[in-house]
Structure 1
Amino acid sequence: MQTFSLLLASAIAVTGSAAGATARMTNFPIRMNGFSDFCSANSLDQKDNVLQVSGDCSPDPNGARNMGAALFTSHININECLHNNKGHLVPQQHGGALGSCDCDVGFSLCDTCNGTSLKCACNDNTGKKQVTFMDMNQFLGIGLDDDGRIVLYCEGVYGEWNQCVKNGAATKCPPKIAAMAVDASAFSIHEEPAKALFGETPTLELLHENEQYPFAHEAGVFIAADDTLFITSNQYPDPATGRKKIQISRVKLNRSGGKTTAEVEEINPDGVPMANGGVNYRGGVLFCAQGGLDASAEPGGLVHMEPRPPYASRALVESFHGRQFNSVNDVVVHSDGSIWFTDPIYGYEQGIRPKPVLPCQVYRFDPNGGVGGKGSVRVLADGFGRPNGICFSPDELTVYVTDTDWIHGDGTTDLTRASTIYAFDVANYSGQPFLTHRRLFAMADTGIPDGIKCDVYGNVYSGTGDGISVWSAGGVLLGKILVDGGAANFCFGREGEVFILNEHKLWRAQLAPSTKGALLRI
């Protein structure tokens, strides 16, 4: 496995921030060889990719003598590094006991690997002095940890730094490192094909954060005509009633100057009780309605919603020949118009649905079947612990279904249960489709494989406990988009963009423009 990281050493993580995000202050312990003998670091702040480090060397007289100053403050602008042809990380200001300083960092992240000393010209009452605040080789490095977060490395610059310096001569640094430096999460490469899928400079940006409730959990339906995204929240207590609630949100994407921002609007369409998964359908959104405790008043099933106000909705199917579904979870639409969906028992376990009266199964609904074309529903697959995500391969000859029996609705987990993706062949017998040749396709190594999608090349993507995992059509793990906290679901947008639902956060990953989702193919 290859990860995009610059240095190998003990690291202190810095929370990444996207444009417009709130700055975060992180106090961190110092474990620097030599530096910690004399000085202590106070805080680290990051805003718009500017790192600020403060250190106090005054308690020990050796601090000023060995470190060159009694107090230092460094503002290191990573944006400047990314847009500077020379690729230097340049502190904008330094100050302390020696007075004001103009500093230059020979530590290069973006282009060439020159010297690694932080040297400053400082003015005090005796005149200008050249001071070396620290040698990066001994004390400080800036790069990415294995989770792709911007970090300070505090026990020496070792390991992969050597990829920039060969035989004592400066060489070009890999361009991906510079691009990844502004990301809050890494793109992890397990196999060579992932490099082409992710592209030369993949990025990950935070579009929106809501600390009040987990607004970004499921669905993820991109409406290209309006450049909007529809998402559903995880369950949370309604402040007004105290009852469990799921909120549907419309996300309007604004694109200008190469940047994407998001406006999130809560919407409350009628007739979609406890919405979960969703998919594009007839110009709008087809939601999985899990239903409520009163099955007669709030039946579960599939509900089509118009994408514009007043968000009119219409139920397509609400039962299996009169027997209530458990809690419909995820859905996909075949090119012939049929609708395929999963129905686990999570709703009952979470206290939002009555006791199940059906096994955990995969269904197919034909909206044109039945008497008078009112629709017909049949079971296609059983034998799951908790069937969850579902999708087709690009040629629609394979169906992928995730089984998330590893986690139950009450939050308990059983590591011996399925955290698995199964593949089925779609075969026709007597003019009707059947799922045949069930086989284990892949297992998530972290958490569960929840939402699942394919790209136009047949690769399989699934939201897991550490982000999004990508497998080849042969079941080989190609790479990951690592997101702290994982992702229940996601969807493709335009030309390689992926919208990642991370509970309290909505992310936008930009992959290679040719990496397009098999559903919309845009």
Structure 2
Amino acid sequence: MAYIVYSAAVLFVCCVHVSGDICDIDPSTPIFQVFSDEFQDIIGDNPELELLKESVNESIEFHEGPVYFSDDQDGYLLYTTQPPADYSDPNTGPQITIRRYDIATNVISTFRDESLANMPNGQTRDPQGRLLTCEQGFRTTPARISRTNISTGAVETIADSYYGRLFNSMNDVVVKSDGTIWFTDPSYGYQQGFKPKPEIGDFVYRFDPDGPDPKLTVVSDDFERPNGLAFSPDESYLYVSDSGAIQGSGEYRTDLPHHIRRFDVLEGRYLRNTQLFAVSAECVNKTVGQQPGIPDGVKVDICGNVYVGAGDGVQVFNPDGLLIGKIFLGRGAPNLVFGGKLGNELYIMADIALYRVQLNIQGAEFADTNAEGDTSVILISKDECPTSSASVNGAFLHFTYLFAIFSVVTSL
């Protein structure tokens, strides 16, 4: 099977431009833009960008919700598409499907068609290997978080309202190691014309399926448009992107948020001490003008580096919020996911194309996967991660919390 491979030197425009999401490309612009030795260590001396698949007829095939599942071969991705470019009737049935991309055979199939998918967007996998999907809903069907048993195909509703008020259009979801489900719910569905007027704000939620009531709580209510989210490797921080700079179906507002915020996670359930972690870099489009970076999907590696799908590709920040490098595509990359047998393959959704980059580091969820016996792979270990103020502060925060508990107990 042949893939198109781009070297680290120069990115030549391989794909048809879709208006609105593309930066103007200088043909000499390198794909891998290194701003720090930290990023050079991550990509290695000879990084390559593999074009795995292109969509047909400029359709938005590779849009959101990539989730990696292992199998007895190279694994597969489940991801969500986007309505076709000529979508205009808000009264027609849902237009988005969940697809399966088989990595070994390079074959795409339909996992759940549009008649059942209920406008899916972000997705993740829980510790039991089940698929969690943000279903945005439609005018006549409510939004919900659904959970699918991959083995049986059985689908169940996890959450579909907050004290009787219907959700907007859930965007992204992540599962903490304790089984709690955290998700964002911006009002893009209403802005884009396929959902009714919002009944509730653009909030971030936590749902504890096995905990005491209230199982569902709002953990943050001050975002313009909360979008992607991810925990740090030790789960002491939660990163949430705010894509408020894009309103509706394409109006860009550089005066509105296009950044990533970081919260301290206290007692595994509360968000405190919000900080501006990073602002996604902007680019220039000759037709549209100055475009904000539009941070979307967020993923984290074992060293706590933060990978953000943005307006010009993938932007990578170290745990202190410093932009250490880019994987420059010259177009938007709505989402991404770590995968592969060792968890060091980065799959990038770029709407009309699917890319892969082999890295020298694993995604945070693969921290316990090792390369023993495979001498061809040398990966950065957790012990080799650079020291950052974020890791020190996270450890201090945990110590302070334990000390406070100890002080209360000993004073009784």
Q: TM-score, normalised by structure 1?
A: 0.60
The separation in 2 between residues aligned to 1:14 and 1:242, in whole angstroms, is 39
Paired position in structure 2 for 1:444: 280
Shift of 1:14: 4.4
Kindly indicate whether the alpha-carbon contact (under 8 Å) linking 1:326 and 1:348 is maintained by their aligned counterparts in 2: yes
The separation in 1 between residues aligned to 2:46 and 2:82, in whole angstroms, is 32
Kindly indicate whether the alpha-carbon contact (under 8 Å) linking 1:271 and 1:314 is maintained by their aligned counterparts in 2: no
1:266 partner SS: strand
Of the candidates 96, 103, 106, which is equivalent to residue 262 of structure 1? 106
Is 1:318 aligned to residue 160 of structure 2? yes
Paired position in structure 2 for 1:337: 179
Higher RCO (Cα < 8 Å, 6 or more apart): 2
Shift of 1:203: 1.1
Paired position in structure 2 for 1:307: 150
Of the candidates 210, 216, 229, which is equivalent to residue 55 of structure 2? 210
Deviations 1:390-438 (A, max 9, x none): 100000000000000000123111111100000000112xxx6210110
Kindly indicate whether the alpha-carbon contact (under 8 Å) linking 1:272 and 1:287 is maintained by their aligned counterparts in 2: no
User: In the comparison of the two structures, how many residue pairs are matched?
Assistant: 334
Kindly report the root-mean-square deviation, in angstroms, between the aligned alpha carbons of the 2 structures: 2.5
Kindly indicate whether the alpha-carbon contact (under 8 Å) linking 1:253 and 1:263 is maintained by their aligned counterparts in 2: yes
C-alpha spacing 1:15/1:412, structure 2 compared with 1 (3 Å): closer
Is 1:356 aligned to residue 198 of structure 2? yes
Residue correspondence of structure 1 range 72-111 to structure 2 within 5 A: none
Kindly indicate whether the alpha-carbon contact (under 8 Å) linking 1:207 and 1:262 is maintained by their aligned counterparts in 2: yes
Of the candidates 215, 232, 240, which is equivalent to residue 376 of structure 1? 215
Paired position in structure 1 for 2:236: 397
C-alpha spacing 1:196/1:209, structure 2 compared with 1 (3 Å): same
Is 1:285 aligned to residue 285 of structure 2? no
Paired position in structure 1 for 2:188: 346
The separation in 1 between residues aligned to 2:93 and 2:54, in whole angstroms, is 23
Shift of 1:239: 11
Kindly indicate whether the alpha-carbon contact (under 8 Å) linking 2:94 and 2:117 is maintained by their aligned counterparts in 1: no
Deviations 1:431-476 (A, max 9, x none): x621011010000013211000100000000000111010000000
The separation in 2 between residues aligned to 1:354 and 1:389, in whole angstroms, is 23
Shift of 1:268: 2.1
Of the candidates 72, 79, 82, which is equivalent to residue 231 of structure 1? 79
Unaligned runs of 5+ in 2: 1-6, 17-25, 283-292, 370-412
Unaligned runs of 5+ in 1: 7-12, 23-143, 149-185, 255-260
1:351 partner SS: coil
Q: Percentage identity across aligned positions?
A: 37
The separation in 1 between residues aligned to 2:249 and 2:9, in whole angstroms, is 37
Of the candidates 508, 511, 515, which is equivalent to residue 356 of structure 2? 508
Counterpart amino acid of residue 33 in structure 2 = S
Shift of 1:485: 1.4
Shift of 1:238: 6.8
Residue correspondence of structure 1 range 108-507 to structure 2 within 5 A: 145-148=27-30, 186-212=31-57, 213-225=59-71, 227-236=75-84, 245-254=95-104, 262-268=106-112, 272-281=117-126, 282-294=128-140, 298-307=141-150, 311-370=153-212, 376-428=215-267, 433-446=269-282, 447-494=293-340, 495=342, 496-507=344-355
1:348 partner SS: helix
Of structures 1 and 2, the larger Rg is shown by: 1
Counterpart amino acid of residue 250 in structure 1 = R
User: Normalized per residue, which structure has more strand?
Assistant: 1
Q: TM-score, normalised by structure 2?
A: 0.76
C-alpha spacing 1:272/1:321, structure 2 compared with 1 (3 Å): farther
Kindly indicate whether the alpha-carbon contact (under 8 Å) linking 2:96 and 2:117 is maintained by their aligned counterparts in 1: no
Paired position in structure 1 for 2:381: none
Kindly indicate whether the alpha-carbon contact (under 8 Å) linking 1:187 and 1:481 is maintained by their aligned counterparts in 2: yes
1:245 partner SS: coil
Shift of 1:145: 4.1
C-alpha spacing 1:480/1:14, structure 2 compared with 1 (3 Å): closer
